[in-house]
Amino acid sequence: MVGKVQKKREDLRVKLIDIAEARVIAGGISAVRARDLAAEAGCAVGAIYNVFGDLNDLIMQVNARTFKRLGAQVSAAVAEEQGRPVDQLIAMSHAYLHFARDNTPAWRTLFDLEVSSEDDVPAWYLEELQKLFALIAAPLVRIFPELGREDVILMTRGLFSSVHGIVLLGLEKRISAVPTDQLEHMISLVFNHLSSKNSKS
């Protein structure tokens, strides 16, 4: 009997994540509303909160799926690129750009989800992030063998944030959306001018 209740609960959990994911993919975070989810899942609104602490918990599960898809795309891009380490960084950055362009609402939801404190970020989420950062750090230490461990961490995060900024402002229609091929070239330009020569710090 307990097993049956447990099973029903788990089924509802997966069903709600599936529904929320479809909504995030179509319309981003604002498309996830408890009443709509309940109607589509055929359950009471209160049942959602029996399974998830709040809607943020549910959206965090959707983000986990998005993050996995993003990670797979970036991993595949770097695996295919056998050239210079800087070309590997460029290939990963282009993969990030393409993912963001083709999955804009889901990608934005990765960053739109409000977390009130670091403690709210689950450990498995941080692990996924670390995996992505490790992919960036590998070619980085080959390009900059002189960097200390702390600086590798800062530079990894700095370059990820740089590419994120280029993609974010580039995809926006605010001032002028930049065509994808120009954004690719912009990323290549910045990375191709990264060098351990000429550095003083």
Give residues in contact with a second copy (CB under 8 A).
111, 115, 117-118, 121, 126, 129, 144, 151, 154-155, 157-166, 168-170, 173-176, 178, 182, 185-190, 192-201
With contact defined as beta carbons under 8 Å apart, do 61 and 119 qualify? no
Distance CA 80, CA 182 (A): 22
DSSP 198: T
Q: Which residue has the tokens 């926006």?
A: 172
Q: Which of 161, 177, 185 is nearest to 90 (CA)?
A: 185
CB of 151 to a second copy, least distance (A): 6
Pick the closest to residue 167 from 184, 154, 143, 150 (CA basis).
184
DSSP helix/strand/coil, 19: helix
CB of 180 to a second copy, least distance (A): 13
Q: 43 vs 169, which CB is nearer to a second copy?
A: 169
Smallest gap, in angstroms, from Cβ of residue 167 to a second copy?
Answer: 8
Of 62 and 166, CB closest to a second copy: 166
Q: Which is nearer to a second copy, 41 or 178 (CB)?
A: 178
Residue with Cβ nearer a second copy (12 or 159): 159
C-alpha 137: how far from chain center: 17
CB of 100 to a second copy, least distance (A): 12
Q: How far is the CB of 159 from a second copy (least distance, A)?
A: 7
111 token code pair: 């960053």
Length in residues, the chain: 201
Residue 1 vs 175, nearer CB to a second copy? 175
| Eight-state DSSP code of residue 103 | T
Question: What is the distance between the alpha carbons of residues 33 and 36, in angstroms, rounded to a whole number?
Answer: 6
Among 192, 201, 197, 74, smallest CA distance to 136 is for: 74
Please state the closest distance from residue 130 (CB atom) to a second copy, in A: 10
**Of 6 and 199, CB closest to a second copy:** 199
